[in-house]
Structure 1
Amino acid sequence: MTHQSLLFIFLIIILGFGLSLFQYHKAVFKKDKTALLLFVLRGISYSIIGVLLLQLSIKQRTSEKQLTDLVLAVDNSNSIAQLADTTQVKEWVNSFIEDEKINERFNLVNLQFGNQINTLQELDFLEQETNLGDVFLESKQLIRSKKAPMVLLSDGNTTFGSNPVFESKQAMFHVFPVVLGDTTSYADSKIDQINLNSYAFLNNKFPIEIFVSYQGESDFDTKIQLREKGRIIEEQLVSFSKNQPTKRIMFEVLASEVGVKNFEVRLKPQTNEKQLENNIQEIGIEIIDESTNILIVTSFLHPDLSALKKSIESNQQRKLKILPIEEFSGNLEDVNLVIFYQPKSDFASAFEQVNQAKIPHIVITGTKTNYSFLNRIQNDFTKQINQSKEEYFPSFNTNFSLYQQDDLNFNNFPPLEDTFGSIELKQAANVLLHQKIQGVETEEPMMFFVSQSAPKRAYLLGEQFWRWRAESFLQENKSFQSFDNFMNKWVGYLSLEQKKSRLIVEANSFYKTQRNAKIKATLFDQNYTIDRNSSLYIKFENEEGTTREFPMLFTGSRFEFNLDALEAGDYNYEIFSPEQKLSRTGRFKLIPYSAESQFVNANSKVLKSISKNAKLFTLNDFEVLKRSLLESKTYQLIQKESINLKPLIDWKILFIFLIVSLSLEWFFRKYNGLI
């Protein structure tokens, strides 16, 4: 309490009793005892009110030590178990966490990382992949300091994710890397990557692209083999040198029979190589017979025809022929699908013969289509006849149920052109795309299927869809693959005999044991809208007959199951819905592969690049690292002082005294008949 506060209290008391004396001076001077008591009580009340109004307070100073955040990040991936002594790593981590001086100076944030970043718990070194870049992104969200130290225990190897060097600079950590594993470079040859399509077509040759590399000082000649069931089917000589440490190898294999084919790629190592697992990889491909002959009938040339031909023939099993309507002879013996492009009245005979032969067909309309003729020749829909033109944008129908089709970002596709007019469906149709006019979505179809009676039919109302293929090329990083797959699913559904199903499964014949290997399924209800209320389960049976059952995860539009829970091997599976009583079965092979097993030593180059001073520590440098952290002036303790204002006298106590004094005064005045 300061002298100034005491002076204020003294003055308030004098003023309070002065006011009370002013009110009771006559009675006080007469020495009336009752008046004297009332005078004292009134003076106390005035004094308390004055103290309350003045709100006298005192300053209270508190100080605390603010510790600097320090991130301890430990690599928990499988490569650590191969390259370092895991027991020594665990002992080092425990010693660091429990060190008294470290804890007196720093606030520890302990993390472990592999596929994901988690709070440090029990290190088991079983993670199958490493995302080193995310360590810096996630850690920055957990600390208060703009610049903080990070002790990173890692071999510096990363299998996926962003560039760790870039991310460390962006996060501005002061990184102290503790290298796990031998940084000495050993001679090593390995298979880096194999590119192979998921499917190949019968009697066609399919390519296998292999990238191999060699790390060593001397030249090295070896052989790379492609094996099937232990038998060498192709072999090539590979020559490495210091100037040419990488090679690209191509094999071409004939798809001679339908079914799943499994191969082994083997690169012969040097006799003194330490790591041999990265010299062998298994791959698989499914051979399918999907030969289809497609005929386009047209009365004029248009860029859409070229786009159709390129998209459809991207599947080597499909051949497309463009035929002018005047050359149509009715020979449909080898034709599996017919496309009528912008039909006019001279198409009448072609329509009649295609329907008689019950050949599935597609009708594509546009500004040159004769809708009077088209309304008469088919009973699936009618369109109002109008000569004005309109642009129609596509809108994807998420409830489309004929086959599995993803949204290709259709909302950003350019419009198609057609004559203006409303459309009336005469048959039940399954709509893939709706029309959107000037930003307004409508229920009118743009692309739809009709299959209530043979043959199956599909309609695309609008021309200029060659622009869709161009737009898809730009969106997919200069690749036509997504759009071509879209077109091939379209013609594939019509040209192949398929039964409409309420449970559609999307699965490959083989997978690798790595992240993002998934089986997907879509479930529809009785009205063929996506069923969001039912559940799907998947049951696996391995070669030994052991079965395992799991629920599938619903992601908003379909169900998925990640195959990470399974070991390598051959599996039969069944996907089923207990509520809908639907099921589908299949078979796949899970090929063993571990990205972590490809590393033979620590990546000291990466660790030096992210280090504060390009300096690396080892597990034997515990005391050296400890001194570097404790003696650094950058991470000194911060003494934080705060000043709080507290009331000099608790207002609650004063308020109680005020009520007591006023109550006593009222009582005595009442008792003496003064009220």
Structure 2
Amino acid sequence: MGSETLLYIIIAGVAALLLALFQYLYKSKVKSNLRYLLTALRTVSIFGILLLLINPKFESKTYYEEKPTLVVAVDNSESVSYLKQDENVSSVLNTIASNSELNERFNIEKYSFGKSVNSLDSLSFGEHQSNISKALKQFGEVYANQTAPIIIISDGNQTYGSDYSYITKSVKQPIYPIILGDSTVYSDLSIKQLNVNRYVYLKNKFPVEVIANYNGSETVKTELKIWSGNSVVYRKSIQFNSSKTSEIVSTALSANSVGVKTYRVELTPLANEKNTVNNSKNFGVEVIDQKTNIALVSERLHPDLGALKKAIESNEQRSVSILKPKDYLSKINDFQLVILYQPNNSFNTVLNEVYKQKLNSILITGNTTNWSLLNNSQSYFRQTITNQTEDFQPNLNRNYSIFIIDNLNFEDYPPLQSEFGSIEFLVPNDVILTKAVNEIDTNQPMLSTFEVDNTKHALLSGEGIWRWRAQAYLDAERFNNFDNFIGKLVQYLSTNKKRNRINIDYKSFYNGNDDVIITAQYFNKNFEFDSSAALTIILKNKDDDSVKEVPLLLNKGSYSVDLSGVSSGSYDFTIKHNTESIAASGSFEVLEYNVEQQFLNADVDKLESIANASSGKAFFSTEHNDLIANLLSDNRYATIQKSTKNIVPLIDWKYLLGLIAISLFIEWFIRKYNGLI
């Protein structure tokens, strides 16, 4: 409260007293001592009202102590139990939880992690993958503004995500790894990496690259074999020693029949090898008998061309050729789909041939598009020509029913530049994306698909799609989400199959540690997405004829089921509607492989490196008491006294209002009782 406010309060007090004295002492009819009581009551009332008008503010401080947070993160992956460290984990957790000094010094918050991070409820050590970098990154973000040392109880063997050695650049908290396992070196052979394409073509040879590793000091001999069923299709003798610990073996296998083909790479185990699980690895390829050829026709160079080519060719079944309009005309029959990028006057003949021969197409427009040519060359849509461009943000239409769209966050994607003005479709169309300006949806289509005369077409109004692919990488540290979206659009447009009321999306085979997720869309008789349908998947294991039924769950415009827990083998499945006789079927294969059982030791060096880089310290599981002593003696983790200052205006003080009301009531009552009213 300032000196100016204090002066106003003094003036208010004096004014209230003078007014009360004037009413009850100067020419007042009240002559008894009662007038002094009435003067006091009136003074209180007037002074209280004036105080409310002045409304002074008072400061109050409260003090409290804030203890640092101790984050305890436990590796819940299968490798912990495989290395027989689950009992050590329980012992460490019990010691930390029961230590009274530690609980008095810290607020202890416990988590478990595998591929994702969860609050620690119970430990199963059943996670198929471990992502240490993601766990540390999330802790760094959540506790960025706190004193929160991180204890990570793990063997350090990461099987998913980016290398956690560099995570200390973004995590500012000290990290204290408790190492599960030991650093003893055992002689061990392993298949470190296997490189092979997912798709191959009939009657072709496909390359297989195997990286075989040896951990040991003696000279050993082994044999690498590649099995197809019960037959060996390739074999090679390999010798390792202390100086030669790795060898890359390359070969080419023949694809003689269509379908999913599975193989097994195997290293003959050593006589006393402790871990033989990592000596073999299964892989699969899908043999197809044709390849989709796509022409990307453009008169100018633009980053969009490279982004589209990369996205489409991320699926080995597709090939993209970037051509000039005049070059495309001579090869028009070699392609199943044509992408026309920003047509100008040189596209006149190309456009005529595309619509004359009824070819499927994707039309992409932008700043250099000749809209007069486009409006005159086809009868599917009309664009208002303004010769002005605008930046438009994409809005996803989640009711799009042609194919399943993954949950891309288009709202965060950069805008595209396109012609300012409305576009009118003259044929039925399905809108995937609409245009938005300043977060206001214009309801104008940005990306649409339509079918005319047994042909399929798409129109994208906007250039700069390369920024979308870059944004997809920033969001997920990979291009997969954007590439899959473009891939599904191309897949739909490059075939003339009729629409089904149930569309399913799945892979023909899954590696052992992949997420086995199948998605589906169900449409009513008008081909409108039905969000109230009850769908069930009937899964049959072809190896043992076991059958199980699992309901599909609605998830943002599609139904999905997670079958990641199924064992390896071949499966047939049928997705059916529970009340209608509509179904869709497919089959897939899960290859046997457990990445969490590929390790023999803890990754001591990497855990110690993140501890040193973050000003923490690494301990083995038998040294957890030393860790507790280190934390208790570290002055960085002292309890901090903090204060909060509250500024409270007097008008919020209800007692003053009550005092004014009481004084006025008592004054009225006295005057009434004594006949002064």
Q: Answer yes or no: same fold by TM over 0.5.
A: yes
Equivalent positions of 1:447-458 (< 5 A) are: 448-451=450-453, 456-457=454-455
Instruction: Quote how far apart the aligned CAs of 1:162 are.
Output: 3.7
In structure 2, what residue type is equivalent to 1:107? N
Equivalent positions of 1:296-445 (< 5 A) are: 315=317, 361=359, 381=379
- Report the Cα distance in structure 2 between the residues aligned to 1:325 and 1:610, rounded to whole angstroms: 55
What's 1:511 paired with? 510
What's 1:622 paired with? 624
Q: Is the 8 A contact 2:140 2:170 kept in 1?
A: no
Matched, 1:45 2:41: yes
What's 2:6 paired with? none
SS, match of residue 564 in structure 1: coil
**CA 1:51–1:167 in structure 2 vs 1: closer, same or farther (change >3 Å)?**
farther
What's 1:537 paired with? 536
Deviations 1:404-454 (A, max 9, x none): 7889999988989xxxx99986xx776799999x99986799975445xxx
Q: Is the 8 A contact 1:74 1:112 kept in 2?
A: yes
Equivalent positions of 1:481-630 (< 5 A) are: 489=491, 492-494=494-496, 498-542=497-541, 543-578=543-578, 581-612=581-612, 613=615, 615-630=617-632
What's 1:83 paired with? 83
Q: Is the 8 A contact 1:17 1:43 kept in 2?
A: no
What's 2:3 paired with? none
Q: Is the 8 A contact 1:137 1:167 kept in 2?
A: yes
Instruction: Quote how far apart the aligned CAs of 1:47 are.
Output: 6.6
**CA 1:336–1:127 in structure 2 vs 1: closer, same or farther (change >3 Å)?**
closer
Equivalent positions of 1:649-660 (< 5 A) are: 651=656, 654-655=659-660, 658-659=663-664
Q: Is the 8 A contact 1:212 1:248 kept in 2?
A: yes
**CA 1:392–1:575 in structure 2 vs 1: closer, same or farther (change >3 Å)?**
farther
Q: Is the 8 A contact 2:431 2:445 kept in 1?
A: no
Task: State percent identity of aligned pairs.
Answer: 23
**CA 1:499–1:491 in structure 2 vs 1: closer, same or farther (change >3 Å)?**
closer
**CA 1:219–1:46 in structure 2 vs 1: closer, same or farther (change >3 Å)?**
farther
SS, match of residue 564 in structure 2: helix
**CA 1:620–1:459 in structure 2 vs 1: closer, same or farther (change >3 Å)?**
closer
SS, match of residue 170 in structure 2: helix
What's 2:108 paired with? 108
What's 1:637 paired with? 639
- Report the Cα distance in structure 1 between the residues aligned to 2:599 and 2:232, rounded to whole angstroms: 27
Q: Is the 8 A contact 1:541 1:547 kept in 2?
A: yes
What's 2:674 paired with? 669
In structure 1, what residue type is equivalent to 2:110? N
In structure 2, what residue type is equivalent to 1:125? F
- Report the Cα distance in structure 1 between the residues aligned to 2:330 and 2:83, rounded to whole angstroms: 71
Equivalent positions of 1:256-267 (< 5 A) are: 256-267=256-267
- Report the Cα distance in structure 1 between the residues aligned to 2:330 and 2:362, rounded to whole angstroms: 19
Instruction: Quote how far apart the aligned CAs of 1:176 are.
Output: 2.1
- Report the Cα distance in structure 1 between the residues aligned to 2:287 and 2:213, rounded to whole angstroms: 30
Q: Is the 8 A contact 1:222 1:238 kept in 2?
A: yes
Instruction: Quote how far apart the aligned CAs of 1:247 are.
Output: 3.2
The TM-score with structure 2 as length reference comes to: 0.71
Instruction: Quote how far apart the aligned CAs of 1:573 are.
Output: 0.7
- Report the Cα distance in structure 2 between the residues aligned to 1:668 and 1:484, rounded to whole angstroms: 90
**CA 1:413–1:206 in structure 2 vs 1: closer, same or farther (change >3 Å)?**
farther
In structure 1, what residue type is equivalent to 2:212? V
Deviations 1:470-494 (A, max 9, x none): 9989999999987995797368514
Instruction: Quote how far apart the aligned CAs of 1:642 are.
Output: 6.9
What's 1:132 paired with? 132
- Report the Cα distance in structure 2 between the residues aligned to 1:564 and 1:42, rounded to whole angstroms: 85
- Report the Cα distance in structure 1 between the residues aligned to 2:388 and 2:533, rounded to whole angstroms: 42
What's 1:378 paired with? none
- Report the Cα distance in structure 2 between the residues aligned to 1:640 and 1:101, rounded to whole angstroms: 22
Deviations 1:453-506 (A, max 9, x none): xxx4456899xx9x9999989999999987995797368514xxx443232222
**CA 1:351–1:475 in structure 2 vs 1: closer, same or farther (change >3 Å)?**
closer
- Report the Cα distance in structure 1 between the residues aligned to 2:374 and 2:46, rounded to whole angstroms: 95
- Report the Cα distance in structure 2 between the residues aligned to 1:72 and 1:511, rounded to whole angstroms: 34
Number of matched pairs: 621
Instruction: Quote how far apart the aligned CAs of 1:43 are.
Output: 4.8
**CA 1:516–1:415 in structure 2 vs 1: closer, same or farther (change >3 Å)?**
farther
Equivalent positions of 1:150-165 (< 5 A) are: 150-165=150-165
Deviations 1:254-302 (A, max 9, x none): 122233322111122322332211111222223333389x999x9xx99
- Report the Cα distance in structure 2 between the residues aligned to 1:194 and 1:207, rounded to whole angstroms: 11
Q: Is the 8 A contact 2:73 2:111 kept in 1?
A: yes
Instruction: Quote how far apart the aligned CAs of 1:109 are.
Output: 1.6
Q: Is the 8 A contact 2:130 2:159 kept in 1?
A: yes
- Report the Cα distance in structure 1 between the residues aligned to 2:603 and 2:234, rounded to whole angstroms: 34
Work out which of the two has the higher radius of gyration on C-alpha atoms and give 1 or 2.
1
Mean Cα deviation higher: 535-544 or 112-121: 535-544
Q: Is the 8 A contact 2:42 2:667 kept in 1?
A: no
Deviations 1:229-252 (A, max 9, x none): 232111123344555533333332
- Report the Cα distance in structure 1 between the residues aligned to 2:238 and 2:399, rounded to whole angstroms: 52
What's 2:248 paired with? 248
In structure 2, what residue type is equivalent to 1:237? S
What's 1:4 paired with? none
- Report the Cα distance in structure 2 between the residues aligned to 1:629 and 1:267, rounded to whole angstroms: 46
Q: Is the 8 A contact 1:314 1:484 kept in 2?
A: no
Q: Is the 8 A contact 1:400 1:430 kept in 2?
A: no
Instruction: Quote how far apart the aligned CAs of 1:600 are.
Output: 1.3
**CA 1:36–1:239 in structure 2 vs 1: closer, same or farther (change >3 Å)?**
farther
In structure 2, what residue type is equivalent to 1:522? Q
**CA 1:157–1:389 in structure 2 vs 1: closer, same or farther (change >3 Å)?**
same
Q: Is the 8 A contact 1:17 1:44 kept in 2?
A: no
What's 1:31 paired with? none
Q: Is the 8 A contact 2:263 2:282 kept in 1?
A: yes
- Report the Cα distance in structure 1 between the residues aligned to 2:673 and 2:336, rounded to whole angstroms: 112
Query: Gaps (5+ residues) in structure 2?
Result: 1-8, 341-346, 364-368
The TM-score with structure 1 as length reference comes to: 0.71
Instruction: Quote how far apart the aligned CAs of 1:518 are.
Output: 2.0
Mean Cα deviation higher: 632-641 or 479-488: 479-488
Instruction: Quote how far apart the aligned CAs of 1:78 are.
Output: 1.4
- Report the Cα distance in structure 1 between the residues aligned to 2:46 and 2:579, rounded to whole angstroms: 78
Q: Is the 8 A contact 2:337 2:493 kept in 1?
A: no
In structure 1, what residue type is equivalent to 2:189? S
- Report the Cα distance in structure 2 between the residues aligned to 1:441 and 1:649, rounded to whole angstroms: 53
SS, match of residue 611 in structure 1: helix
In structure 2, what residue type is equivalent to 1:523? Y
Instruction: Quote how far apart the aligned CAs of 1:610 are.
Output: 1.9
Query: Gaps (5+ residues) in structure 1?
Result: 1-7, 29-33, 355-359, 376-380
